[in-house]
Structure 1
Amino acid sequence: MFKQLRLPLLIIAILLVSLWIRLDYIAKLEVTPISDMQDYDQRALRLVEEGTFVTGERHGATYRAPGYVMFLASLYELFGHKYRLVYGVQALLSVATLYAIYLIGRRLFEAKVALLALLLAALYLPFIGYSGVLLTESLFLFLFLYALYSFLCGAEEGRVGWYLLAGGLFGLAALTRSIALLLPALCLIWLFWQRKTWRLPRATWLHLGLMVLVMIVVIAPWTIRNYAEQHEWVLIDTTSGLNLLIGNNDRANGFFTEAIYGVPAYKEAMRGNRTDAEADRIMKRGAKAWIVAHPKEFAELTWMRFKMYLSAQNDWLASTYKWNWIKIFSDNFYARYQWTLMSLGLIGAFFALWKERNALFPTLVAGYFLGAISFFFVQTRYQLPAMPFVILLAAFVLGELGRSRRRALCIFAAVFLIGWWLEELAIQYKVL
């Protein structure tokens, strides 16, 4: 009896300690929202007080996806304008996300690997720190991880209910961060690979179609609302043009810099009383024109940004939001842990292509996020959605250590060499 309870009790203990660490951190946190955090806060307050997403400012209702604004507005409406209460709810979502990592690990690998992934994720500092920040990360991670878990359950069990739940959660995740829009396509690719055929059963195609249909139904009201306001189709938001232009122009260096304000396409987009959709389209056109005219520079910038994301751990929010108050914090631990996870994750991706079919799923998802953000510019928090899947790959590789002494020595050597390479990259690109 005790042996049967040992694993559940260990999981509960890890989750409770993780929750305590988060609550202990946010109990001392007193930071007035700035930058993007302030914008989300103001949009949520406007929604509560005036019942509108319209800002009356340059960046209007469609500039940001509505999911996190609605999340904040709901909490403000129910409990008042209290930042610490938001952080408390986000702490609960963050701990629930840790459990989602474990659940996905159980679906893909054996229980030992899933437990290792839970332990690794519990020690990952940004998962803790972002529970105390007014940004989309905690909500987005919760939604899209449970969406992927629901899909995996549906794919394994063949039950349509799981697919319907996945579709709803995918829709909510996309309304929080539009980068989630292509995740169902990754699910399809994984099914092809996992089943070694392009010919899926008719029932599977039907279930996938229903999943996408539910996702569309969830997103559609916001899209229709955008059309009524902008008089053109805006699926979710109008930030991609600016983000793409920041990363791809004559002055781009991989980061956000104020040099963007002097780029001709940006000046044109900001001229006059253009709608968000018009400004977004102009900036997209300018970025695409630069990419077509400078394919070599674009490829070099993208490869540089990808390497920066692999090695980056310098997050400006760490000092602003007092991450040094978190019990497990130290600069050296944070950096070394990040590089070790990335090293193990890269080795796991190699295993996925070589021998372990199920490891392809976290490889695809982590690769999608890291690859997609490499087209834009480096902001450390944008790598966060990839990390649960990097951690799953890392746990899988650690589980391989006991297979043979030779394999263990090869893995230790690879981790050392890749970690050294990542540290050198971090120093070279100033993301340390």
Structure 2
Amino acid sequence: MKQFREWMQRYGHWLLIAAVLVFSLWLRYDYIVDIEVKPVSDMEDYDQRALRLVNEGTFQTGELHGSTYRPPGYVVFLAAIYGLIDHKYRLVYAIQSVLSVASLYAIYWIGQQLWNRRVGVTALVLSALYVPFIGYSGVLLSETLFNFLFLFAVAVFLRGVQTESGWWYAASGVLFGLSTLTRSIALVVPPILVVWLLLEKKVWPWKYGKEAWIRFVLLFAAMAVVIAPWTIRNYVEQKSFVLVDTISGLNLLIGNNEYADGFYRDTLFSTKGFKRAFREGKTDAVRDQIMKDEAKKWIVAHPERFAELTWDRFQMYLAAQKDWVDDLYKFENIELLEDDKQEAAFSEWFQRYATALALVAVVAAFVQAVVRRNARALLPTFVAGYFIAALSVFYVQMRYKFPAMPFVMLLCAFALWQMRSNWKALVWMAPATYAVAQWLLDLAVKYDV
């Protein structure tokens, strides 16, 4: 009996991790076998681009939104599957299911490295219960691939911090490069991680060791090597510098024009910027720049309205529960609870309280950083905060906050660990979480999100 207890203490957490991962994989496969939705909107665009790459060997589309409109990562991912195996959506969903479950392990790995095994396992279990992580495995969108690459990039970076090995930093740079080629919003995260590490090490940049800065150089150099071929290709085609994609101008104009209300609206087509950008004879890069310029002009001319819109969008991203992709792909068919209504109610409740607990954890993270000089919880705070803040400049789409949610779950796990370890933390964090959850519910009703 003693030997069994010792064995469980040493290996029991691995049994739990394996059980959660296997169950998560089963949930995804059980869900995707019944999906019969034909890709539409962005999904259809990704599909057509991948088919053209397989059949014609080109990223060109022959349409208004050309080859640089979208990052190439997910297009290449789909094309590899279509070209090597078959053009079957369920096959893509099956592979994405594996990547999605692997991402759960990356969340555990990040939590374990930042704090301890218990926090990592808690974050893993919470993430396994987050319905969109399951549902997006069966959607022809880049979210699942991006999360896989991005989460392992962060986990490998932390491994480099622990081991002080340049190889881990370089590997992290490669993964960050691939993440950026999948969704360009990842580009700014490595500098954020460097700032976090300086805070964690409690050193000023000029006092950090030479070897440490060499490791940072390796990270950014590896990232640049991955991204550069696509950037060069874009310059040759567009005769203009396009680092990754030309979609940001349109997104910025959607969120910042005379008709803007925080959401995508067809009134975009009536704006002067859109009409001027999409006159014939312009490259993707020129269109993108025109729309950026028009959006910036509107922001400068209407600073108060821009600030109001940005604050509204920030609140909407925190409170958002409705997702047209969820409605289209019927996430309520995921086997978690007894019936569809229970699953929908659970998903909304879980998302609301997870966000509330994470916001409370942010306060605890800054308190620890200032009082105890422990900045570890600032990493998920900075990363999740960056995604939500950056998106708030554009417009609200539920799926766009997807990359922030793993770090929300890590903050939740950190908060639960704090409450378990310290009764004083429990006394203030529990009621605060309830109060914030009610605020989020009010926001969801107010903004109809």
Shorter-chain TM range is: over 0.9
After superposition, the C-alpha distances for 1:326-382 in whole angstroms (9 at most, x for unaligned) are 012612111111111111111111111111410000000000100100000000000
Question: Which amino acid in the other structure matches residue 148 of structure 1?
Answer: V
Deviation at 1:271, TM superposition (A): 1.1
Q: Distance in 1 between matches of 2:111 and 2:301?
A: 44
1:220 maps to: 228
Q: Given the two structures, how large is their TM-score scaled by the length of structure 1? A: 0.99
Q: 2:325 — aligned with what?
A: 317
Partner of 2:211: 203
The aligned counterpart of 2:149 is: 143
Say which of 61, 74, 89 aligns to 2:67. 61
Task: Measure the CA separation in 1 of the matches of 2:33 and 2:364.
Answer: 42
Find 2:350's aligned residue among 316, 322, 337.
337
Runs of 4+ with deviation above 4 angstroms: none
2:4 matched to which residue of 1? Answer: none
Aligned to 1:91: 97
Deviation at 1:410, TM superposition (A): 1.5
Aligned partner (choices 408, 416, 421) of residue 426 of structure 2: 408
Which residue, out of 13, 18, 24, partners 2:19? Answer: 13
Counterpart selection for 1:297 from 301, 305, 324: 305
Render the CA deviation track for 1:241-294: whole Å, top value 9, x for unaligned.
000000011110000000100010111001122111000000000000111111
Aligned residue identity for 1:264: K
Q: Which residue of 2 aligns with 1:110?
A: 116
Instruction: Percent identity, please.
Output: 52
Map 1:7-406 to 2 at 5 A.
7-198=13-204, 199-328=207-336, 330-355=343-368, 356-406=374-424
Q: Which amino acid aligns with 1:88?
A: A
- Distance in 2 between residues matched to 1:328 and 1:303, nearest whole Å: 34
User: How far, CA to CA, are the matches of 2:23 and 2:331 in structure 1?
Assistant: 17
The gaps in structure 1 that reach 5 residues or longer are none
Q: What per-residue deviation string (whole Å, max 9, x for no partner) do you get for residues 126-155 of structure 1? A: 000000000000100000111111111111
Q: How many pairs does the alignment contain?
A: 431
State the TM-score, normalized to the length of structure 2: 0.95
1:265 and 1:290 map into 2 onto residues whose CA distance is 10
Structure 2 residue identity aligned to 1:359: A
Query: Aligned partners of 1:93 and 1:414: how far apart in 2?
Result: 35
Distance 2:364 2:44 in 1: 43
Which runs of 5 or more residues in structure 2 are unaligned? 1-6, 338-342, 369-373
Superimposed CA distance per residue, residues 374-432 of structure 1 (whole angstroms, 9 cap, x where no aligned partner): 0000000000100000100001101112234342131111011000000000000010x
Aligned amino acid, residue 285 of structure 1: D
Asked if structure 1 preserves the Cα contact closer than 8 Å seen for 2:196 and 2:375, the reply is no
2:371 is matched with none
Say whether the 8 Å CA contact 2:249–2:290 is kept in structure 1: yes
Aligned equivalents of 2:105, 2:8: Cα separation in 1:
22
Q: Take 2:40 and 2:200, find their aligned partners in 1: how far apart are those partners?
A: 45
Q: Which region of structure 1 is more displaced relative to structure 2, 239-248 or 264-273?
A: 264-273
One-letter identity of the residue aligned with 1:156 = Q
Q: CA RMSD in A?
A: 0.9
Distance in structure 2 (CA, Å) of the matches to 1:372 and 1:285: 18
Return the alpha-carbon distance in structure 2 between the equivalents of residues 274 and 77 of structure 1.
32
CA distance in 1, matches of 2:411, 2:115: 10
Who is 1:419 aligned against?
437
Contact 2:52 2:58 in 1 (8 A): yes
**Corresponding residue SS for 2:58:** coil
Alpha-carbon distance in structure 2 between the residues aligned to 1:174 and 1:72: 17
C-alpha separation between the residues in 2 aligned to 1:246 and 1:297? 14
Structure 1 residues 273 and 385, CA, compared in 2 at 3 Å: closer, same or farther?
same
Give the Cα separation in 1 of the matches to 2:422 and 2:382: 27
One-letter amino acid of the structure 1 residue matched with residue 264 of structure 2:
F
Task: Return the letter of the residue paired with 1:284.
Answer: K
The 3-state SS of whatever aligns with 2:62 is: coil
